[in-house]
Structure 1
């Protein structure tokens, strides 16, 4: 069983930023958009390096997934989405449409370094 780094998304985000995953992505119009460059990416242009699921400590309906992403043009960053009852269905479909070959089985930050 893999040891979890943290129970909070922000701790993982900070750790990944220290590893060079500094871009932030926003989901809009069926694309992931780099908030700095405004470049848009489609599912086939996204590679999932790792992902981490979270459940809220006080509210089990407060669920999220942190995706660690690298784009086809080597931009590295993170994206946090809700899942479960709070999920944005279009955003969930976008991540479901990422080709299986673009998904790593890696979910532990210690395996990235």
Structure 2
């Protein structure tokens, strides 16, 4: 795992390392290029948490995801107060690559 000071540093570096797909979380799973995908097809390779400078309520997590077919991309979600909704519960059910777990 690497250390990043900002969310944009993390997403820029991940993109340079091949995480080029852009995923969005929905109530049914992940959306990529207009295609709905099951979270069962993905593993979390890395993740990074960020707190906004202006407000501790401005929280985000960047996930580096790998699809079972080898496709790699980025999912950015809120956490804390901004992580409401049924879609957010799906991320909790995702598997971590190589036994990695959040702290």
Q: TM-score range by the shorter chain?
A: 0.7 to 0.9
1:47 matched to 2:61: no
Counterpart check, 1:7 vs 2:20: no
Q: Distance in 2 between matches of 1:65 and 1:78?
A: 10
Count of residues in correspondence between the two structures:
100
1 CA distance for matches of 2:41 and 2:50?
Answer: 25
Q: What residue in structure 2 maps to residue 87 of structure 1?
A: 83
Check the 8 A contact 2:18/2:72 in 1, yes or no.
yes
More strand by share: 2
Gaps of 5+ in 2: none
Provide TM-score, normalisation by structure 1. Answer: 0.79
TM-score, normalized by length of structure 2?
Answer: 0.85
Counterpart Cα distance in 2 of 1:29 and 1:91:
4
Deviation at 1:74, TM superposition (A): 1.4
Root-mean-square deviation (CA, aligned residues, Å) is 1.9
Which 5+ residue runs of structure 1 have no aligned equivalent? 108-113
Match among 12, 17, 20 for residue 19 of structure 1: 17
Q: State the alpha-carbon separation in 2 of the partners of residues 3 and 69 from structure 1.
A: 15
